Structure 1
Amino acid sequence: MGQRAAIYCRVSTADQSCERQVDELTAFAERGDYEVLGVFKETASGASANRTARNRIIDLAQARQIDAVLVTELSRWGRSTQDLLNTLDKLAGWKVSVVAMSGMTFELDTPHGRMMATLLAGIAQFERDLLSERVKSGLAAAKARGKKLGRQSGQRPKSDRLAPKVIALSAEGRSYRWIARDLGISKNTVAEIVKRRKSSEAPQVETAL
C-alpha cells in the first residue's frame, strides 16, 4: 500500500449526510493507492470551532500515524483562509499533507506548497483588512445616524441581567451548556454567575481573635 491517510468528511447541518463524501473519497483513495486508516465524519458549520473529528485527525498527524488527509474540497477542512493556513502549517511540521479531490495537494515543504501558502496568507490578510474596513464603515454610519455606541452609563451588562434566569435554570438541574445555548451566552459566563451566587450564599465564618 501507499501513504497512510485519514478521510475527513463534514456537512453543515444535521439533515445532510456525509455518505456521498465517504464514497467519493474511498474511491479516490483506492485510485491513489492510499492506505486508509480511518474515516472521520462530523456535522458542523463552516465557521464552527468545535471540530472534534478534525481534532482527532490532527492528533493522529502529530503522532506521525498518517501521511495525508483526504478531503473532497478544502472548504470541508478549513474554517477560514487563516485557519486553513494555520492547520496546513501545523501539519507540514509533521510531514502530513492535505489532499483534495480536485487534485490540489498542499505540502508546505515543496516549492509549489510554499507558493500556495504565500497566496493563502495574502488572501487571509485581505479578508482581515476587508472585515476591519466593514466594521469601521458600519460604526461610522451608525454614529452618523446618532446611534450611541457601546454600553451606556447605568446600563447593566447582559450577564447581570440574565443572572436570575441562570440561577433558576441551574436550580432546575439544567447543564451549563444547555443554559448557555438557551440564553445566548457563553458556558464560562454561566459558570461564573453560578460561582458568584454560591460564594454569596456561603456561610461566613468568624475567626476569634
Structure 2
Amino acid sequence: MGQRAVIYARVSTSDQSCERQIQELTAFAQRGGYELVGLFKETASGTKSNRSARNQVMALAQARQINAVLVSELSRWGRSTQDLLATLDQLAGWKVSVVAMSGMTFELETPHGRMMATMLAGIAQFERDLLSERVKSGLAAARARGQKLGRQLGTRPKSDKLAPKVLQAVEEGRSYRWIARDLGISKNTVMDIVKRHRKKS
C-alpha cells in the first residue's frame, strides 16, 4: 500500500454537511494509492481556535502514525495564513504532508514546499500589516470625529450616572423592564444598580 493518510473534512455551520468532502476525498485517496487509516470531520468556523478533530490529526502526525493529511482545500485546514503556515511547519517536522484535492502537496522539505512557505509567510505578514493599518486608520478617524477612546479618568460608567433615576423609579413601583426601556439600559443593569444599592443600605 501507499502512504498512510487521514481525511480531514470541515464545515462552518451545523446546517452544512461534510459528506460530500468525505466522498470526494475517499475517491481521491483511492486514485492516489493512499492507505486511509482515519477519517476526521468537524463543524467549526474558519476562525475558531478550538478544533478537537484537527488536534487529533496533529497528535497522530506527531506520533508518526500517518504520512499525509488529505483535505478538499487548504482553507478547510488552516484558520488563517499564519495558522496554516505554522501547522504546515509542525507537520513538516514530523515528515507529514498536507495534500489538497487539487493534487497539490505541501511539503516544506522540498524546494516547491519551501517556495510555497515563503509565499505564505509573505501573505501572512501582509494580512497582519493590513489589519494593523485598518486599526490605526479606524482610531485616527474616531479621534478626528472628536470621539474619546477608552474610559476617561474621572468619569463614571453610564449605570452609575443613572443610578438615582433607577432607584427613584423603583420606589415609585415601576417594573425593572419599564425602567430599562425608559432609560435606554438593559434590565440586568437595572438589577445590578438595585443590588448595589441594597448592599450599601
Q: How many residues are matched?
A: 156
What is the letter of the counterpart of residue 112 of structure 2? H
Unaligned 5+ runs, structure 1: 157-209
Instruction: Check 1:55–1:155 CA distance in 2 against 1; reply closer, same or farther (3 A cut).
Output: farther
Q: Counterpart of 2:43? A: 43
CA apart distance, 1:152: 2.4
Q: 1:104-183 maps to which residues of 2 (within 5 A)? A: 104-153=104-153, 154-155=155-156
Does 1:95 find its partner at 2:95? yes
Q: TM-score, normalised by structure 1?
A: 0.73
CA apart distance, 1:108: 0.3
Does 1:30 find its partner at 2:34? no
Q: 1:70-89 maps to which residues of 2 (within 5 A)? A: 70-89=70-89
- Which entry has the higher C-alpha Rg, 1 or 2? 2
Percent sequence identity over aligned pairs? 81
Q: Counterpart of 1:68? A: 68
| 2:149 aligned counterpart, secondary structure | coil
Q: 1:180-191 maps to which residues of 2 (within 5 A)? A: none
Instruction: Check 1:145–1:95 CA distance in 2 against 1; reply closer, same or farther (3 A cut).
Output: same
Provide the C-alpha distance between the structure 2 equivalents of 1:112 and 1:128, rounded to a whole number of angstroms: 24
Q: TM-score, normalised by structure 2?
A: 0.76
Q: Give deviations 1:156-176, integer Å, cap 9, x for gaps.
A: 6xxxxxxxxxxxxxxxxxxxx
Unaligned 5+ runs, structure 2: 158-201
Provide the C-alpha distance between the structure 2 equivalents of 1:11 and 1:3, rounded to a whole number of angstroms: 26
Task: Flag as ranges the 4+ runs of structure 1 deviating above 4 A.
Answer: none
CA apart distance, 1:150: 1.1
Q: Counterpart of 1:177? A: none
Provide the C-alpha distance between the structure 2 equivalents of 1:102 and 1:135, rounded to a whole number of angstroms: 36
CA apart distance, 1:16: 0.2
Question: Alpha carbon RMSD of aligned pairs, Å?
Answer: 0.8
CA apart distance, 1:50: 1.1
Instruction: Check 1:148–1:55 CA distance in 2 against 1; reply closer, same or farther (3 A cut).
Output: same
Q: Counterpart of 2:17? A: 17
Q: Give deviations 1:19-71, integer Å, cap 9, x for gaps.
A: 00000000000000101111000000001101100000000000000000000
What is the letter of the counterpart of residue 100 of structure 1? A
| 2:10 aligned counterpart, secondary structure | strand
Provide the C-alpha distance between the structure 2 equivalents of 1:44 and 1:50, rounded to a whole number of angstroms: 8
Q: Counterpart of 2:52? A: 52
What is the letter of the counterpart of residue 51 of structure 1? R
